Structure 1
Amino acid sequence: MGERKAWVEVLRKLWDLEAEARSGWVVLDDLLPQFQQAVDAAVGQGLVESADRETLAELSAPEDRPVSRAVRLSAAGFDALIYADAEPAPAPRRDGPADDEKLVELRPAEMDAVRRYVRLSARLRVPPADGLAERVRTSSFDRAGNRWSLFLNAEQIESVAYAFYLRSVGGPVTEANRFARLYGVIFRANRETGALRSKRLPRSAAQHPPTGNAADVGG
């Protein structure tokens, strides 16, 4: 992480120097040796471009001295800087759920299924509940327990159950069954009408949800 932040700082400094330069090119000879080295490394990454001989000749005339090196952000460097600066600030970490929320812990494979559901939200007819994408983004991972932790309200918990239902249609039913056992929500269809609805399991049933194939969950 520190190295990536260093790249961004080099690009940001160079961008500021570009803004001050009338030509849009920064004369590398005028920079401190340490920063010159950092810029050279950025050139090697495709983030900064060096002026060619013709450009150096044009820059030398108004400087009244030979300019041996001049640089500026490449298109990729500019985009990388914009991208980095657009990254949202991390949400403040909370010690516990709000009054209407519950702590939900997901295994890595389960979290992958929820992330896929959130990522596809614009294409789905049943999109995730409001706020679920933000909860996924700000979730925390416990390496010791190998679990992702999220604070979710009832609607968001139902959305997670729906994500596991979608996964069970073409994949394993494990996630749907485990989530039902721990959090008491599963999706089932009316066998006569086909209408799909979430079902809240009684406390006793939530401890022993039905098992079987994907059709058992969906139908």
Structure 2
Amino acid sequence: MADTATRAELATGNHLVWAARLAPDGHDLLLYRPADQDRSRAWLTKQASEGYQEVALQPSEMTMLRRFVALAPRLSHSPAEGLDDAVLEAHWDAECNRWRLQVNRDQMDSIARTFYLERFTGMTTASNRFARKYGVMHRRPRAAR
């Protein structure tokens, strides 16, 4: 905290009640907090758009989706454009214990593909719940005869 002499020097005609020197964490916080507000603005913009739908995912489903997005560069079928942003913009809703995302139709299909891939590990619950709740299920393409 600044002493009286430093506050007087900084005041330049105005009376300063207090002044503080920011630690490195304080500088990081000045960058971090507005970035969170930018995500909120993006959320509201998508919420008002007809092309987007809100999806509520259980914590385990969000973990699967984050893994899928992280693997994007190595996958033969990449996630839909913007799905990584939707994952970053997701809000935690403690009341219903769900992550809320705003996604478009292509991103919904990518989420369904995520849960389709999980089926091969023996986890069918997410795929079935997503299909039941949102009417979207990824189907394996049929091979040409």
- TM-score, L = length of structure 2: 0.70
Superimposed CA distance per residue, residues 13-72 of structure 1 (whole angstroms, 9 cap, x where no aligned partner): 9xxxxxxxxxxxxxxxxxxxxxxxxxxxxxxxxxxxxxxxxxxxxxxxxxxxxxxxxxxx
Partner-residue secondary structure (3-state), 1:148? strand
Tell whether 2:139 aligns with 1:188.
yes
Identity %: 36
What residue number does 1:10 align with?
23
Larger Rg: 1
Which residue identity does 1:159 align to in structure 2? S
Which residue identity does 2:68 align to in structure 1? Y
What residue number does 2:110 align with?
159
Equivalent positions of 1:136-215 (< 5 A) are 136-189=87-140, 193=143
Query: What root-mean-square deviation, in Å, do the aligned CA atoms of Structure 1 and Structure 2 show?
Result: 2.6
Instruction: Output the CA distance in 1 between the equivalents of 2:141 and 2:110.
Output: 19
Q: Which of 107, 113, 122 is the equivalent residue of 2:73?
A: 122
Aligned length in residues = 117
Instruction: Output the CA distance in 1 between the equivalents of 2:56 and 2:25.
Output: 39
Superimposed CA distance per residue, residues 147-173 of structure 1 (whole angstroms, 9 cap, x where no aligned partner): 111111100000000010111111311
Query: Contact (CA 8 Å) 1:161, 1:176: kept in 2 or not?
Result: yes
* Alpha carbons of structure 1 residues 164 and 10: separation in structure 2 relative to 1, 3 Å: same
Equivalent positions of 1:52-91 (< 5 A) are 89-90=35-36, 91=39
Tell whether 2:64 aligns with 1:113.
yes
Structure with more contact order per residue of length (Cα contacts < 8 Å, sep ≥ 6): 2
Structure having the larger proportion of residues in strand: 1
Instruction: Output the CA distance in 1 between the equivalents of 2:126 and 2:91.
Output: 19
What residue number does 1:19 align with?
none
Partner-residue secondary structure (3-state), 1:89? helix
* Alpha carbons of structure 1 residues 88 and 126: separation in structure 2 relative to 1, 3 Å: farther
What residue number does 1:201 align with?
none
Q: Which of 44, 65, 69 is the equivalent residue of 1:94?
A: 44
Which residue identity does 2:96 align to in structure 1? G
**Please, which runs of 5 or more residues in structure 2 have no aligned partner?**
1-21
Instruction: Output the CA distance in 2 between the equivalents of 1:99 and 1:12.
Output: 40
